[in-house]
Chains A and B, each alone.
Chain A
Amino acid sequence: MSDTGGEVQTHTVRLELVDEPGELLRALEPISEAGGNLLSIYHERGNLTPRGHIPVEVDISCAPTRFETIVESLREAGVNVVQAGSERYDEELVVILVGHLVDTDLSDTLKQIESCADASLTDLSLSAPRGRDETSSARLRLKTRSGTNGDALAKLQEIAADKELQVIQPLTEASQ
């Protein structure tokens, strides 16, 4: 039985800071206090959010459970956390499609996914080593709106079923 909170992973937190002296330091303190290992800080000075704040992206390595503590303590310290792990506004969905991708018109498949599943394709990787007669695989990276991954996956399954393609999907919702 494991109670270590899982393997150490890299997590990204997006913060919005008020443009005042000391704000960045104030935001970073709770991270180190909670035992997070700071990997990088991307301070987009000069690039203001619509609310007039400065976006900052922080990469932290720590165990998933510790990450939850960090996000909580940031919020308790009054830091504006706009994205943390699965709470991102722009969610990412990675799936692998398997089947006769080329014969079933891959570009049409992708078009359908973008229009019906309300997702935008950001990356495609196709592997079809045996030519067009055999089964091939494609990895799709999609951006979806926050909280809509489940719906997007359901649509994707429908589209794939029509073309007899198999969808290898990630675990859903809070399960990652």
Chain B
Amino acid sequence: MSGARLCVLGAGAVGRSVVELAEEYGHTVTAVADSSSAVVDPDGVDAEAVLQRKSDEGVVGEADPDDAVGGAYDVLVEATPTTLGDAEPGFSHVKQGLERDKHVVLANKGPVAERYGELRELEADSEGKIRFEATVGGAIPILSTIEDFGPTHITAARGVLNGTANFILSRMAAEGLDYEHVLAEAQDLGVAEADPTFDVEGIDAALKFVILSNVLADGDQEFTLEDAVVDGITDIPGTALDLAAEDGRTIRLIGESTPEGVSVGPRLVPADGPLSVTGTLNIVQLETTHAGRLNISGRGAGGPETATAVLSDVSRLVD
């Protein structure tokens, strides 16, 4: 495997893990930037020192973030926070990378969910390619599986792609507790964020299923978050889970993607079926044209997990 030079944008959990693990994958990080600072070294930055500085001082170095994007590298890793609508600044980062004929690997869902067509146009005019395995289901190889089968051989994708909502629903069902109780517990455990809106309202899951639909439609149609029918889990009382359990079922926040559309909402599923994963696990079912149903499950979030998907994408681009 030939090593690539990486420019990592974003120093959150995913960006930091990419910096930390890149060497193990045979790659060299030549630039790291967060929203206000950057460190650039064509020979490779000192990963440990950069991460230490980020945690001590809240900056990664002395340089300007623009120096990182404009520096010397083979693959740009876009791991800044997901934003909706214009998906900035992530979209502009990807654009700059592609315009410089660099490959781009995204962990940021915004550009792929909200401006998929534009991304593909930029890619068509570039020597560089984009990959975004990390945007859907963290460490689980969902997009590369679809790529291997070919999008036309997958008729639908459905499943659980938000660990926070799944944790809350599975705890509510197991303990007979109300939503508010379990949410507070999830926040204490760090499973839910202080503002859990994205997760519990189904927006995070919807972005992932929008990306899946974009991939499955293979250019025939483009989807954005606005096209998705989205329901969250905030109004589900414990009694609904009790009634489901009496009937051998449970409730999970399930998304469904087809080349025609996207929906996310609480659904009744068999309690012992493959979709009723517990805790923060994720699962995706792919319906194939000739090979029945595939179930792929695993850890759908987390720094090292998501970084694993990023680095696999990097390796695919430069091998």
Contacts and interface: CB of A to CB of B under 8 A. Distances in A.
B251 interface: yes
Contacts of B239: 127-129, 135-137
Nearest to A99: B235
Nearest to A8: B272
Contact of A6 (B235, B246, B274): B274
Contact of B274 (A2, A95, A129, A174): A2
A65 interface: yes
A94 B285 CA distance: 22
Main SS of chain A's interface residues? strand
B243 A127 contact: yes
A100 B297 CA distance: 37
Interface string A162-176: 000010111100111
Given A169-B268, A171-B269, A98 B274 contact: no
B158 interface: yes
Main SS of chain B's interface residues? strand
Interface string A95-111: 11010000000000000
B294 A168 contact: no
A45 B251 CA distance: 40
A139 interface: yes
B244 interface: yes
Contacts of B54: none
A33 interface: no
Interface of B: 156, 158, 231, 235-237, 239-240, 242-244, 246-247, 249, 251, 254, 256, 265-270, 272-275, 285, 287, 292-297
Given A7-B273, A65-B292, A96-B244, 4 more contacts: A96-B268, A98-B240, A175-B256, A175-B287
